[in-house]
A and B are shown apart, each in its own frame.
Chain A
Amino acid sequence: MTPGSLFRAVAKRLAGAVAVLLGAATVAFTALQLIPGDPVTVMLGPGTAATPEIKAQIREQYGLDQPVALQYLHYLGNLLRGDLGESYQLQRPVAGLIGDQLWPTVQLALAALALAVVLAVTAAVATAGRRPALRAVASLLELLTVSSPPYWIGILLLTAFSFQLRIFPVAGDQDLSALVLPAVTLALPLTGVLAQVLREGLEAALGQPFAVTARSRGLSVTAVRLKHALRHAAVPLVTLVGWLTGSLLGGAVLVETVFARPGIGALTLQGTTNKDMPLVIGVVLLSAFVFVLLSTLVDLLYTVIDPRLRTG
């Protein structure tokens, strides 16, 4: 492979990423146009009587009197400068509001992700290719975790560990112990999916000649699984990166509500109930950005690692 073809593949991937982001911004702008009712009235909130002059002034201030195409370009320009607009309800820049609530959600998401990966790898390595009874139990557990609504898992955990056993705090994000139950709640559904994909990958890898060779070189069964098969089994997980980000962010809305935690999810729900479109749009754009960033990075890494993918 020449450097030229690698460059072309990378450029193509980056162009695709930019296109998806532009699409997301367009969807966002369209959603803003779809708000029922006059945006100025929504902005002022119910019960505020404003003279037509004041309304016209607001309209001019926000550029709402310009043609839609111009508003669209203006909107894109603002996004490029990191300006996500202003919240209708809270009268503050959306970017600032999100920034204030980002850390608790990032903490929660990272803790849940780490927990899910550890649990899934352990479960998959322990059960792949074992006796049918053991695998049946494992797949039943996987099915159970993907069938349980996260908000219900949260309520069960709260009942057992916070109200009955009093081990963990009921709500809030004061210290690390308050992170445990929300992280477990968010992690369990992910664990089910990850474990299933990993187990199937492991079983495929263990049947390959390289696994047999490694075993015949005298490596223990566990060593073959951990050092050789697991790497191969992890490849399909990469395509799940997008799904993972989505589940973590979407799940945060529910989990933060159950545990009364502050964060992006709680902010989004507040925005939804208040019909605060710019705020929710801001969160949507942020999640699209994170999704595109992660999946592009992963794809690029793979183009560099695996020469077979450089044909594009």
Chain B
Amino acid sequence: MTSIDTAPAPDTARPLPAGRSRLRLPRAAGGPTLVLASAVLALIVLAGVAPGLFTSTSPIETDPVNALVAPGGAHWFGTDQLGRDLFSRVLYGARPSLLLGLGATLFAVAGGALLGIAAALGGKYADQALMRLADVLLSLPPILLALLAVIVLGTGSGNVMAAIAIAFVPGYARIVRAETLVVRRSGYVEAAVGLGLPRPLLIVRHVLPNALGPMLVLATVGFGSSLIAASGLSFLGLGPEPPSPEWGAMLSQGRGFLATAWWIGVFPGAAITLTALVVNAVGRRAQARFTRRTTR
């Protein structure tokens, strides 16, 4: 502004000072990516809610004459060994697959919240007992914990959901406990305690609303891993029964046809990856924004 050597601000329409846009470069780079990721996520969710909007082909109708057709004009993603249209199956697979990941995440976050808050506010002994148990469970790989749970609970969608949730609960419990302790030590909670607010009310009115934000961010970031883990169990043959077009189960089927029909395994896996990718992108963005806001 003071010297004519300085290049004019490239974007005069924006009322930002020229120096500030340089500081915000990472954010500017993240902007379009975030929009794109959110748009793709919205489309995936829409496919989960109403797959009929995108295709009129049935995902379960077999057509033996057109079995193992390569991707092309008639069948965008090709057909499987029974002649079912894979594009339609991947679209219809969104609902069972997303529900599997979503259910596992919700159960895990809810369980983690319950145990984390209990540990943080339940007194010294409850805290010690719960956190030592979390230490033990965190020393085991989540997949192994989930497999143990599957042996006890059995196979199928609901059980896989519960098994993944059990595997992820200890991690969530630990984070929620830390968040709750921060809220617990804050001025407004001290004031509420000083005013004689009973503990249940304290939890409902002050602790939960303030811990909810971080928990939602956590759930978004965790959804990607839940989806991958749940589809993984399904890939191992422990998830929903065969006719269901769940992505992990489709991948497992495709494994048998890699030599002749690569598309059966490739497209369902691409759907899982794309979903995990956009959810992770959105979740990390939310996480970065959240930590920036709370540390300021």
Contact = CB atoms under 8 A, between A and B. Distances in A.
Interface stretch (B65-73, B148-156, B181-189, B201-209): B148-156
A159 B277 CA distance: 22
A272 B147 contact: yes
Contact of A27 (B137, B224, B236, B255): B137
Contacts of A36: 152, 154
B237 interface: yes
Contact of A136 (B29, B231, B254, B273): B29
B175 interface: no
Most A Cβ at <10 Å: residue of B139, B235, B248, B258: B139
Interface stretch (B40-48, B75-83, B84-92, B259-267): B259-267
Contact of B235 (A26, A151, A275): A151
Nearest to B228: A149
Contact of A148 (B254, B262, B276, B284): B276
B147 A23 contact: no
A277 interface: yes
B144 A250 contact: yes
A147 B141 contact: no
A284 B280 contact: no
Given A132-B26, A284-B140, A19 B269 contact: no
B93 interface: no
Given A151-B235, A246-B140, A23 B251 contact: no
Most A Cβ at <10 Å: residue of B25, B148, B232: B148
B156 to A, nearest CB: 13
Q: Please report whether the interface of chain A is mostly helix, strand, loop or mixed according to DSSP.
A: helix
Nearest to B133: A23
Nearest to A149: B228
A23 B133 CA distance: 7
Interface string B239-264: 00000000010010011001100100
A283 B145 CA distance: 11
A155 B141 contact: no
A20 B139 contact: yes
A246 B265 CA distance: 26
B59 to A, nearest CB: 20
A34 B152 contact: yes
A23 B136 CA distance: 6
Contact of B258 (A35, A144, A159, A250): A159
A31 B136 contact: no
Given A20-B136, A246-B142, A147 B277 contact: yes
Nearest to B26: A132
B144 A287 contact: yes
A85 to B, nearest CB: 14
B153 to A, nearest CB: 9
Contacts of B219: none
B132 interface: yes
B143 interface: yes
A288 B132 contact: no
A19 to B, nearest CB: 7
B281 interface: yes
Contacts of B273: 144, 147-149, 152
A147 B276 contact: yes
A19 B270 CA distance: 43
Nearest to B135: A20
A281 B29 CA distance: 48
B104 interface: no
Nearest to A153: B269
A164 B266 CA distance: 14
Contacts of A148: 269, 273, 276
B238 interface: yes
17 contacts: A23-B135, A23-B136, A26-B136, A27-B137, A35-B152, A146-B280, A149-B231, A151-B251, A155-B255, A159-B266, A250-B144, A273-B238, A277-B151, A280-B148, A281-B148, A288-B136, A291-B139
Given A162-B258, A249-B141, 12 more contacts: A23-B136, A26-B136, A36-B152, A146-B224, A147-B277, A147-B280, A163-B258, A242-B139, A250-B143, A251-B143, A272-B147, A291-B140
Q: Which 7 A-B pairs have the closest CB atoms?
A: A152-B269, A23-B136, A250-B143, A246-B141, A250-B141, A147-B276, A147-B277
Interface of A: 19-20, 23-24, 26-27, 31, 34-36, 132, 136, 143-144, 146-152, 155-156, 158-159, 162-164, 170, 242, 245-247, 249-251, 253-254, 257-258, 268-269, 271-273, 275, 277, 280-281, 283-284, 287-288, 291-292
